[in-house]
Amino acid sequence: MPLTFPRMQKLYLLIYAILCFASLQASISAQEPPNGVCARPPAGSPVPEPQDLRSQNGVLKVNLTVRNISESGKPARYCYISADGSESPTLRLHPGDLLILNLKNDLTDPEHATAALNQHHAHAITNNSDAPCASGAMTLTSTNLHFHGLTIPPVCHQDDVLKTSIQPDDAPFEYRFRIPADEPPGLYWYHPHIHGFSKAQVLGGLSGAMIVEGIERANSEVAGLPERVLVIRDQDLSNPNAPPNKSEPVIPKMLIDHDGDAANTGTGFGKPAKDLSINFVPVPYPDYPTAVIKMKPNERQFWRVLNASAITYLNLEVLNGRVPQQIGIVALDGVPVNTNGAPANSVLWRNHIGIPPGGRVEFIVKAPPAGVRGLFVTRTVDTGLGGENDPNRAIAMIVSTNEAPEPRSALAASPEPLVPSSLPWLGNVSPARTRKLYFSEKLLDPNDPNSATTFYLTVDGQVPAPFDPSSDVPNIVVKQGDVEDWIIENRSTELHAFHIHQVHFILLDFFGAPVNEPFLRDTINVPFYDGKTLQYPSVRIRVDFRDPNAVGTFVYHCHLLEHEDGGMMGLIRVEPSNPAKAAVHEPSTKKPPARANGAN
């Protein structure tokens, strides 16, 4: 979506007062200290930094185990555990580095797993490392990995999510691929992509950040800055039956949508559809006791923020006192905003930024002066009549103190500039063709607004049908080397977030109006239909299929995972420009070229 949101000026002081009240609550939700499986910090804790796993000599070897726990009366928790016991580590690699990641599935579901595996498990108990490649099993205890945003081949052992499915009785499964030498430096992430069960696993906490190092080489403005990785996740409400905090305005009627979540009130207040957490520190409804971020007074830091939510939209803002602060946006969805040829120190200064589920933003932030407390908040997002409720709420209190510890990581102070791409800027390339797609929904029982919903993402001219994971027939066929314009309409009454694997795009039009936002993205909001306009809302994007790593079959979908799981997904096949010379997608065993002095 465009970087600007309609602001609620007349409610601003009230919103700020409520956020401040929530951040200063003396009573913090009682939670046990971290221990056991998929432990979580207590509410109100300082925001911990994820463990960094860094490549050495051009290689990063990682062992991750997937685990889960379900306790009576509490939301189910899932986690990635590394060999040293840390949860959801940040994977740090340079362009050209080789990643070798062994994933062991230790998921359990005592009540349902056996029947599900007997019905769907396509291969027997085996140590054959290639067996999961053809499994296609989609169950609650199946898992795999998607490396969101990376331009790597959609094949097994790299970034295939269509057939690759790892079961609890499989040996550790090896992911092995090389970060492309021209991969933009920035924030990416990893998460499971099991059709029908992605929401449950991501909502439970299965997500982690990946960083392609070198963003200071792309933008000199961030050179030498300390950096933080902040992963914002959503989860089922810890206190679903609690009334809203008394400091909030009274909402006349609290509605529940067909998914059982709190429906959009259109006010910015009321019960949210999901709780939020920041680096696993929960910020639960209804009092929203904030996590704590300590910074030195007036210190500048570089924040890398990932919206790893399953369904929650964010509208991020930093407040000092009552005043929204300018944040300096350096990258969106893993790609520096000056990739379009802008100067090496170009920064977009904004006072807030909207991030859909799956989106990322990297920005410069300045700490409050001594004695002034700041807040890191998400403002309300209007998700439409059929959407969930994403109200105003504080996420973290920013405490300005000389005793604040330095973040463990900082960007290189004197980097060598990044070599610009040899390809023409995407916005200057004429599209080979234009396509139209549209989001739509259908109630199982049209007379019952709370009945199950089927979600569709349809190519114009084709018959709407939910995604069929057993089909290999693509909805769209593209030639590698082409650039295409896609018009994506929303014919439903709720906001959707369009995402495509393997490639990036730029936004050209929003709701029919041209926008000047020449930034690469992989996820974009498509505005909802209000039933009043003469045409459906839409976005127009220019999609880049020039990279040969995109050759193969992969998916595009809504990144609200209950919509993706419910069928709002399509299949695309990118054919090689020269089939006779099509590359075999295998990572090279050669060492990458030496990095320039000053690079991370």
- For 153, counting Cβ atoms within 10 Å of its Cβ (0-12 exposed, 13-18 middle, 19+ buried), the class is buried
Which CATH number is associated with domain 52-218?
A: 2.60.40.420
Homologous superfamily, domain 426-581: Cupredoxins -  blue copper proteins (2.60.40.420)
Q: Which residues of the chain have pLDDT under 50?
A: 4-13, 23-34, 113-127, 588-600
Question: What CA–CA distance (Å, rounded) separates 404 from 298?
Answer: 12
- The residue ranges of every structural domain in the chain are 52-218, 220-403, 426-581
The token pair that represents 501 in the structure block: 């694997």
242, 495, 520, 233: which is closest to 378 by C-alpha? 233
> For the whole model, what pTM was predicted?
0.91
Question: What CA–CA distance (Å, rounded) separates 209 from 148?
Answer: 10
**Residues with Cβ within 8 Å of residue 574, at least 6 apart in sequence:** 478, 479, 480, 502, 545, 550, 551, 552, 553, 554
Question: Is the fold of 52-218 the same as that of 426-581?
Answer: yes
State residue 31's pLDDT score.
41
Helices (H), 121-210: 198-203
State residue 125's pLDDT score.
37
**Residues with Cβ within 8 Å of residue 73, at least 6 apart in sequence:** none
Question: What CA–CA distance (Å, rounded) separates 341 from 275?
Answer: 40
State residue 193's pLDDT score.
98
**Residues with Cβ within 8 Å of residue 46, at least 6 apart in sequence:** 281, 291, 292, 293, 294
Answer for the pair 39, 85: CB distance below 8 angstroms, yes or no: no
Answer for the pair 505, 542: CB distance below 8 angstroms, yes or no: yes
Question: What CA–CA distance (Å, rounded) separates 136 from 153?
Answer: 18
- Which option is the CATH number for 220-403: 1.20.810.10, 3.20.20.70, 2.60.40.420, 2.30.130.60? 2.60.40.420
Q: What is the pLDDT of residues 105-162, one digit of tens each?
A: 999 985 654 433 333 333 333 445 678 999 999 999 999 999 999 999 999 999 999 9
| Cis ω before 184 (30° cut-off from 0) | no
The token pair that represents 283 in the structure block: 């910020």
State residue 590's pLDDT score.
42
